[in-house]
Amino acid sequence: MKIQKSFSGQELNTVYVVPTPIGNLEDITFRALKTLMKVSVIAAEDTRNTKKLLNHFDITTQLISYHEHNKETRGEQLLERLENGESIAIVSDAGMPGISDPGYELVQAAIEADYPVVVLPGANAALCALVGSGLPADEFLFYGFLPRKKRDKEAELERLKLVSGTLLLYESPYRIKDTLKMLHSHLGDRQISVARELTKKFEEYIRGNAAELIDWAEKTELKGEFCLVVEGTSSESVQKDKLWWSSLSVVEHVSHYINEADLSSKDAIKRTASDRNMPKREVYQTYHVDQ
């Protein structure tokens, strides 16, 4: 067990997680600016992007890169700097580091090495989209980006369709049409809110059912980053979905996932075993050996 007292007067050897604006520079907080000025070094996902932010606010703190491709070696270097008494701020291109952006590994490594980690509040696209969607916000699941491969995406949507809370997804303009169509086919005609270009000049919310959103996407030039807020399933639907396979044999159950969800036999067996609360080896035996 580890206990951290974040404000005990200790400012050295500390990692500060600093959210940055997701579009509107006025969303930076006074505390974030003060922190970026006082730390020894700022670790940024893209130094070119962060340099623009620092120049706008006349911040001259040393800036180094920390991203998906150098996080292991750079993480070791940053830990050495903590050991030498320096403080570090980690930022992403926009929003909260660690949320679909680099940051988690450095935070984890710092905690394991007993260095304080202080997280500042700030801009986050998913929460803005959720609150602005008009959908329930008392229970929600942030997923981020769905897998790119069709088979993997369909498998995840089959799992997510049983979630009762509101779903939060990120998506690029290049895949938004296909994602809306797959949401409709796997989750049904649920209420969806698409938030685009949040906090920027062309901020836009498009709210409606899945079919309406698909029609909108087909007729619209899609630009910017998107956040999808999807209505969760009802308890009645969960129970119905859990029992849809009751009339199927084990073999038919596995075959359904292979043919309809385009899963491999291995993944179909795993899903069938989960549905029926059976050991995977029994499902494997029934499907591959006994039939």
User: In this predicted model, what pLDDT tens digit does every residue of 236-276 receive, in sequence order?
Assistant: 555 555 567 778 888 889 888 888 778 888 888 888 888 88
Residues in the chain: 291
pLDDT (0 to 100) of residue 9: 67
With a CB cutoff of 8 Å and minimum separation 6, the contacts of 217 are 176, 177, 180
Q: How far apart are CA 167 and CA 161, in angstroms?
A: 9
Residue 237: its pLDDT value, please?
A: 55
Beta strands across the sheet bearing 88-91: 62-65, 41-44, 88-91, 15-17, 117-119
* 60, two tokens: 């001259």
- The structural domains of the chain, ordered by start, are 15-119 (3.40.1010.10), 125-232 (3.30.950.10), 243-290 (no CATH)
Q: What is the pLDDT of residue 155?
A: 87
pLDDT value of position 257: 85
CA atoms within 13 Å, Cβ hemisphere of 193: 22
| Phi, psi angles (nearest 5°) of residue 131 | -65, -35
pLDDT attached to residue 115: 94
Q: Given this model, what pLDDT does residue 286 score?
A: 84
192 touches 255 (CB < 8 A)? no
Residue segments in the chain with a per-residue pLDDT below the cut of 70:
9-10, 235-243, 290-291
Beta strands in 40-79, from DSSP E residues, in sequence order = 41-44, 62-65
